[in-house]
Structures are given as C-alpha cells and as structure tokens.
Amino acid sequence: MDLTERKLKILQAVIADFVRTAEPVGSRTISKNYELGSPATIRNEMSDLEEMGYLTHPHTSSGRVPSEKAYRLYVNEMMSKRELSQEEKDAIAKGLYENVNELENLIERAAHVLSEITNLTAFALTPGTEQDKLKYINLLPVDEQTVVLMLVSDSGKVSNTAVRLDKPASEETLRILAKNMTYNYSGKTLSEALTIDIIKTFKEDAEAMAMFEHSIAPSFIRTLEDMLNVNLYMDGLTNIFALPEYSDINKARTFFEMVNRKSDITQKLISRDDGIMITIGGENQDEELSDCSVITATYHVDGKMVGKLGVIGPTRMKYDEVTSVVEYLTENISKAFMLPEGEDDD
Amino acid sequence: MDLTERKLKILQAVIADFVRTAEPVGSRTISKNYELGSPATIRNEMSDLEEMGYLTHPHTSSGRVPSEKAYRLYVNEMMSKRELSQEEKDAIAKGLYENVNELENLIERAAHVLSEITNLTAFALTPGTEQDKLKYINLLPVDEQTVVLMLVSDSGKVSNTAVRLDKPASEETLRILAKNMTYNYSGKTLSEALTIDIIKTFKEDAEAMAMFEHSIAPSFIRTLEDMLNVNLYMDGLTNIFALPEYSDINKARTFFEMVNRKSDITQKLISRDDGIMITIGGENQDEELSDCSVITATYHVDGKMVGKLGVIGPTRMKYDEVTSVVEYLTENISKAFMLPEGEDDD
DNA sequence: ATTAGCACTCATTCGTTGCGAGTGCTAACT
DNA sequence: AGTTAGCACTCGCAACGAATGAGTGCTAAT
C-alpha cells in the first residue's frame, strides 16, 4: 500500500489534533476541520494507515492515535523546522542572561528557560572537562591549620577545597607546595593529573613531602574529581502534572522517581549523539523511558568543551517547536561562551 | 470537663493508631488493642474528647481522627523523646559522612539522610554568612583578558567568579588591585563590604582605578552576593507519593509546586525560631502549609554561623521519631564543623 | 473512488443498591 | 455512678446496570 498525498495529510492532521488535545481523534473531526473528504472516506484512509502501522486504536470504538512510527515519520519527513519569532528569541535571551554570572548559572538558566517555553521537563548538563588542562594550583592559608586548595583550569573553571592540615604549615612550605604542584601538573588534563604521583619530586624537602602526602594529595584528588564532574540541572518537573498522560498518580510517581536518579539521567544524556537527537518512546533503550520522548542537543565551546541540554516529555509533544527552541538555545549558549557574560550590561 | 487519665490514654491510642494507619480509628479497635474498657465506654470518652476539641469526625459514621489540638497536646505533654538506638546513630553517621569533602556536601548529605530515615521530605539550609569576614581577595590571571576573582572568608568559605576584562591587564596591575582590595576589605563582613566603595583609594593609579571600576567592582559585588546566599538542599520529595494524604494528584501537585519555590521555602525556614521548632497544620501561618507539619532544628557552629534543617510532612507524622532524628543530626553537624572533615578516614 | 446510512462497540457517566464500619442512644447491670 | 450490651441509624464505598454518545466497519448507493 502506498502513502498517498491524502494519507499523509490525514496522518499529519491526526498528529496535530492529538498533540493538541491528547484525545484519540475521530474521522468526523478531521473531516470537519480539514478539506479532506467525508468522514467515511477519512475512515477508510485511517483504516489503511492503521494497517500500515501509523495509527492505532485504543479500543474498537474510539478515534485513532498516532503510533511511534507515525511520530518518527513526522519528525523525519513532515516536520517543518519552525523558525522562532523575534519575540520568542528575545524572551529566550532575556531569560537566559538574567542574573547570570557564572557558566554554571547560565546552564541552570538554560534549563529553566527551556522548561518554561516548552512546558515540559528540561535538563541541562554542564560541559565536560575531560579536556581541560590544569593551569594554576594555589594554596591559600585560612587559619593556622587550614588552607584552601584552589585549582584553575585553562578554560577558567575554578574549584577549591578547604584542607585541614595535620599540623601548622609555614607560608614558605605552602609556597613550595603550590609551586611544585603547578610546575608538575600544569598543562596536564584533569584525568592525567589524577594518574601522576609527584611525591618523589619533593625529595629534598621532608616537611613539604609529608604535608603533601598526608594532607594535600587526598584533597587534590577530591578536588580534581569534583572538577571533572558534570552537573545536571533540571527544571519544570512539575510541568508534567498538567499533562493528561500523567493524571494517574502512579505514572507521575514513576516519572519523578526516574528523574530523581540524577546520576542515571546524567549517564543516559552523556551517551547520546551529538547534535540534535530525538528519540521517541520505545526507541529509548530504557524501559522506564518507553513512553517518553527525549530531545537533546549539544552545545559546543571552542570545539572542545561540550554539554547537553534537552527535554523529556510524553511521546505526544510539539516536536517542531521543542526542536527549534532546543537548537536556538544551544546556539545562544555557544555564543555566550565566546564573548563571556556580563560585559554588555544593558 | 477534665482530661482524666483514661481520656489521655485513649487520646494517645487514637493518635498512635491514626499515625500508623492513616485511617479514622473506631472505638472497637481501641477496645481490642488496649485495656481501656468496652467499645461503648471508649465511645463515650471519645465523644467527650471530641467535645473538648481533641478529636474530630470526618463524618457521622466513621471513626475519630486526632485534631491539631491533639497533636499539639501530644507534642507538648505526652511525647517521650525517643532515644535513638546505636544502630540508628551509626546509620546516620555513616550516611552523613559518605563522600563528603565540603561543608555544602555535608549539608546536602544531611538532607538526604534525614529524608531516608523519616520517609518524609527533608531540607537543609547551608549556614548564613552574614557574620563572615573577608580574609583574602585574590585575582588570578587565566588568559590575556580573563581573571578569576576569588574571595575567602575567615570561616574558610571560598567563592570565585571569572571576570572578563575590557582590556588586558598586567600582572602588576592585578597585584595592585588584589592588594588594595585585601587591604581595604579584609576584616569587614560580607555585607559591610557591599556598602564600601574603595574607588578613591586608587587615586594615584588611573589604570588600576579604571579596571576596578569597570571590570572588578561589578564582579566583586556579584561574588559577595553569591557568598551571602544560603543554599537550600531538599531530598525525599518523592516520599510523599507513599503517603495516603497525597494519593490525590492535586494534593501531590500542590505540594510539589510549593516546595519547588525554593526561595519561598528558604525564607520561611530562615525566619523560624532557633532550636527545635514544631508547627502543626494551621499553626503554620502559610495557607499552603496548613495541612502540613514542619519540624526544624538549628545547627550552630562556633556559636555564630547557623543553618537549619528539618522535614515537612502531613500533620500525621511520627513526631517523636522525627524530632529525635532532627536533633541528633544537628548535633552531629555541629560536631563535624569542630573537627573538620576527612581527617580520620576510616 | 466517494459517500450516506446504519448497526455495532465500548468507555464513561450516573443512579441504585447492598454492605459494613462505626456512631449515639437507651436501658440494663454492677 | 460509671460501665456495658444492644440496637437503630448514618454514611462512605464498591458493585451493578442502564443510558449515553463518540466513533467504527460495513454495505449499498452515487
């Protein structure tokens, strides 16, 4: 059987109606709102579309619902990329830069804006730092026996830990430690640094060596690990309450319990392809996601640091709109990194 | 009418049963499980208790439910503080210090542990820093036109911002800026620092002055504000799904939407009394909280920095247990601050 | 090939009924 | 006097069934 012009139009109409109303759509509705023929004709065509796997029947006597195959066809072939209006773009930019002073902040805002616009659950992942190289290492005394260990990477990411020393250290010792660490670690990526042991380089200085080994090194490792971690921001979790697919409390519960496992989510996101990726229902390997669709996009910075953002929602979603927004957001974020934030304070 | 011995016992029994089952409790149940007389007697007593305002009737033909007044009486007079068993204490300590290397981390863990033990929604607020004094101010070059502005307070709290300069700065200029800022700001509290303008102190150095005014000062203010911010951690949100009071999706929704407004929650928490505070249902000024109870406790550090933690749940909760856990947690946190973390790695 | 007509299906709504847990009252008992 | 047994009554709730109506599939006419 062939996907004739009319069949395509009917399918599109069914998808559009169903995405809007979440109700199975009947032949009369289509017939009334589109010039595609009488209800009976539509019915025949729908019956064909069902046979072809694009529509399903919740039960004999109710309207048709698009199948995942239909959404896939729509996304691949029928969806026109919806250019955002200037107002929408402005709203995004405004929301994005509001109250932002750090990269983390910007990513958090991105998740927020994304959830507000799409009315879905949005997430954003901070850039991975596998390729970041250490630039500075500093030890700053806070009091007698406490110092702050501070690492700066070449991308400007900073991370610090308060370190409790087992005995007081002279400023001199701290300076030696910091200098030696900077000398040996700078230029190395964070994960490289994790594998290098510089304890031997202190050979002449027993005090510095002991202090490094007992106090600094463990904190150093923790701080590196902390820097390597990506953060996951989520927003719009409660948006799902507005969706009829989650009017059953158990559905809602399952959803919340799933997205609450942040490390799982992070894993799943990281492993997704670059660029815009849309997975529909069962296309998600994950059982738990099998009645959700996920749209993600990747933002790049200087061609090296990458992070992801996207939305998760029911398979019934406005794929065109969400895709456009997600794409526009990544462009904006990449741009923001080029010209660091906060300069043109309007 | 008098609250006789037996009335008290019956009231306590009703509370215990209702807290456990969430079902209105009838006279027969009490009569069977406690040696307090026949159903009819219990009924008469219950009727009196209702007249006195300690019990209510959902409808004529169902069992009794404790009123807020009853919970209040229970909390004030009848509740025996439940000493935690050694296993419970161990479990708390274990959960608390797992994977902790920063204060923020510890507080986050506290919320986690608290929600796990109580099966309620828990929150924890990082210590306020109004009394923190600036100790160090540092400017570290990252690249040509980017520096990291780093502030350290006397409590060891560190905050940094990447600052994009409008033109390249010499190391010399940066050193002058940092030195001058440290000189003028150190010893001042964070909020004092926000009010002091040191622009005039650069009078001899036009370059440093311009750089301070255009690039550093705005970031400095943002960083101070960031340091002044307290963070709110929440955990166990999905626990409410297990409670029958939230089996209605709208209740659940309202709850989630309320706790999602983090700044509101933070405000409400901060304004609560020190020590252990229990508010039951309508005692919460807040309309939204009127069918919740909130238990908070304050942890102190060196008698100056304070934060709060607690739980929020239905009025039907195990007040004794929750109170004990909350109290024990605050003690533990205070202790942890005394002897900074990570030293005794078992 | 399209469409009107019609019988049929099935989820949903709404009223009815029966059940059972629990009360309140009265009268008997201690 | 306080306690208890007995009993009529209330009321939420679940189960059942009829009515409703949206929508289909099929057949026959256009």
Is the C-beta atom of B66 closer than 7 angstroms to strand C?
no
From the list B222, B223, B238, the residue facing A256 with the nearest CB is B238
Check residues B15 and B145 and name the one with the higher pLDDT: B15
CA distance A66 to A75: 13
CA distance B271 to A344: 37
Is the C-beta atom of A35 closer than 7 angstroms to strand C?
no
Asked whether residue A31 is domain-assigned, the answer is yes
A139 and A281 inside one domain? no
**Mean pLDDT estimate for chain B:** 91
pLDDT for residue B2: 85
Using a 7 Å CB cutoff, list residues 43-62 of B near strand C.
Answer: 43, 46-47, 50, 57, 60-62
Q: A152 and B142 in contact by Cβ < 8 A? A: yes
pLDDT for residue A345: 38
**Mean pLDDT estimate for chain A:** 91
Q: Dihedrals φ, ψ of A46, to 5°? A: -60, -40
* Beta carbons within 10 angstroms of residue B131's beta carbon: 16
Chosen for mutation from A99, A104, A158 (greatest number of chain B CBs closer than 10 Å) is A158
pLDDT for residue B144: 82
Estimate the crossing angle of helix A103-118 against helix A86-97, to 10 degrees. 140
Q: B226 and A256 in contact by Cβ < 8 A? A: no
Q: Residue A2 has which token pair?
A: 């062939």
What single letter denotes the amino acid at residue B134?
A: L
As a whole number, mean pLDDT of residues A325-346 equals 72
Asked whether residue A258 is domain-assigned, the answer is yes
pLDDT for residue A303: 74
- The residues pairing with A159 across neighbouring beta strands, listed in sequence order, are A151
A235 and A333 inside one domain? yes
Per-residue pLDDT reduced to its tens digit, B38-77? 999 999 999 999 999 999 999 999 999 999 999 999 999 9
As a whole number, mean pLDDT of residues B138-165 equals 86
d(CA A283, C1' D26) / Å: 36
d(CA A61, C1' C14) / Å: 21
Asked whether residue A275 is domain-assigned, the answer is yes
CA distance A231 to B12: 47
Contacts of B216 (CB under 8 A, 6+ apart): B139, B149, B163, B177, B181
* Residue listed under structure tokens 């996207």: A310
Q: Is A244 helix (H, G, I), strand (E, B) or coil?
A: helix
CA distance A50 to A55: 4
What CATH number has the domain bearing residue B209?
3.30.390.60
* Residue listed under structure tokens 């208790």: B49
Is the C-beta atom of B39 closer than 7 angstroms to strand C?
yes
From the list A103, A140, A257, the residue facing B238 with the nearest CB is A257
As a whole number, mean pLDDT of residues A20-27 equals 96
Q: Which bases in strand D are touched by protein, i.e. have an atom under 7 Å from a CB?
A: 3-6, 9-12, 21-27
Q: Is A229 helix (H, G, I), strand (E, B) or coil?
A: coil
pLDDT band of A104, cuts 50, 70, 90: confident
pLDDT band of A341, cuts 50, 70, 90: very low
| Nearest residue to C21 via alpha carbon and C1' | B62
pLDDT band of B342, cuts 50, 70, 90: very low
| Nearest residue to D22 via alpha carbon and C1' | A62
d(CA B66, C1' D10) / Å: 21
pLDDT band of A338, cuts 50, 70, 90: low
Q: B142 and A162 in contact by Cβ < 8 A? A: no
Alpha helix ranges (H) inside B186-318: 190-195, 206-211, 217-228, 249-260, 262-270
A244 and A115 inside one domain? yes
Residues of A within an 8 Å Cβ radius of B: 101-103, 135-136, 138, 140, 142-143, 146, 148, 150, 152, 154, 156, 158, 160-162, 164, 166, 218-219, 222-223, 226, 237-238, 241, 247-249, 252-253, 256-257, 260, 340-343, 345
Which residues of chain B are within 8 Å of residue A255 when distances are taken between CB atoms?
Answer: none
Nearest nucleotide over every DNA/RNA strand to the B62 CA, judged by C1': C22
- The residues pairing with B31 across neighbouring beta strands, listed in sequence order, are none
Q: Is A236 helix (H, G, I), strand (E, B) or coil?
A: coil
pLDDT band of B183, cuts 50, 70, 90: very high
d(CA A61, C1' C11) / Å: 9
Estimate the crossing angle of helix B86-97 against helix B319-338, to 10 degrees. 50
Percent of chain B, pLDDT > 90?
Answer: 75
Per-residue pLDDT reduced to its tens digit, B209-222? 999 999 999 999 98
Instruction: Give the minimum alpha-carbon distance from B325 to chain A in angstroms, rounded to a whole number.
Output: 24
A207 and A280 inside one domain? no
B221 and B155 inside one domain? yes
A160 and A307 inside one domain? no
Asked whether residue A345 is domain-assigned, the answer is no
B138 and B190 inside one domain? yes
Asked whether residue B252 is domain-assigned, the answer is yes
Q: Dihedrals φ, ψ of B311, to 5°? A: -130, 160
Q: Residue A99 has which token pair?
A: 């109250």
pLDDT band of A220, cuts 50, 70, 90: very high
A146 and A48 inside one domain? no
CA dihedral A207, A141, B339, B149 (to 10 degrees): -140
Asked whether residue A62 is domain-assigned, the answer is yes
Which residues of chain A are within 8 Å of residue B103 when distances are taken between CB atoms?
Answer: 162
Is the C-beta atom of B41 closer than 7 angstroms to strand C?
no
pLDDT band of A344, cuts 50, 70, 90: very low
B164 and B279 inside one domain? no
What single letter denotes the amino acid at residue B13?
A: A
Using a 7 Å CB cutoff, list residues 54-93 of A near strand C.
Answer: 58-62
Q: Which of A268-282, B140-154, B175-189 has the lowest mean pLDDT?
A: B140-154
pLDDT exceeds 80 at position B258: yes
From the list B143, B158, B341, the residue facing A148 with the nearest CB is B158
pLDDT for residue B146: 85
Q: Residue B80 has which token pair?
A: 């025996």
Asked whether residue A174 is domain-assigned, the answer is yes
C-alpha distances in Å from residue B227, one per residue of A164, B222, B264, B289, B301? 21, 9, 19, 30, 17
DSSP state of A342: T
Contacts of B13 (CB under 8 A, 6+ apart): B25, B30, B33, B34, B36
CA distance B137 to B125: 26
pLDDT for residue B247: 92
d(CA A63, C1' C15) / Å: 28
What single letter denotes the amino acid at residue A6?
A: R
Residues B42-63: b if buried by 16+ CB within 10 A, e if exposed? bbebbebbeebebbeeeeeeeb
Residues shown for chain B: 346
CA distance A114 to A135: 34
Which residues of chain A are within 8 Å of residue B241 when distances are taken between CB atoms?
Answer: 249, 252-253, 256-257
Asked whether residue B145 is domain-assigned, the answer is yes
pLDDT band of A142, cuts 50, 70, 90: confident
B177 and B324 inside one domain? no
As a whole number, mean pLDDT of residues A213-232 equals 93
Boundaries of domain holding A166: 134-228
As a whole number, mean pLDDT of residues B134-147 equals 87
The answer to whether residues B278 and B81 touch, using CB atoms and an 8 Å cutoff, is no
A196 and A248 inside one domain? no
What CATH number has the domain bearing residue B308?
3.30.450.40
Last residue of a domain, one of B172, B197, B228: B228
pLDDT for residue A51: 96
d(CA B25, C1' C29) / Å: 28
pLDDT exceeds 90 at position B5: yes
Beta-carbon pairs below 8 A across chains A and B: 107
DSSP state of A341: T
pLDDT exceeds 60 at position B198: yes
Tell me what percent of chain A is helix, strand and coil, each rounded to the nearest 5: 50, 20, 30
* Residue listed under structure tokens 């996304």: A75
Q: Is B305 helix (H, G, I), strand (E, B) or coil?
A: strand
Last residue of a domain, one of A228, A263, A288: A228
pLDDT band of B338, cuts 50, 70, 90: low
B322 and B286 inside one domain? yes
Last residue of a domain, one of B228, B251, B272: B228
Phi-psi region of B128 (alpha: psi -120 to 50; beta: other; left: phi over 0): beta
Number of structural domains in chain A: 3
Q: B142 and A160 in contact by Cβ < 8 A? A: no
Check residues B147 and B98 and name the one with the higher pLDDT: B147
From the list A161, A226, A343, the residue facing B164 with the nearest CB is A343
CA distance A328 to A295: 13
What CATH number has the domain bearing residue A62?
1.10.10.10
Per-residue pLDDT reduced to its tens digit, B296-329? 999 988 777 789 999 999 999 999 999 999 999 9
Instruction: Give the minimum alpha-carbon distance from B61 to chain A in angstroms, rounded to a whole number.
Output: 29
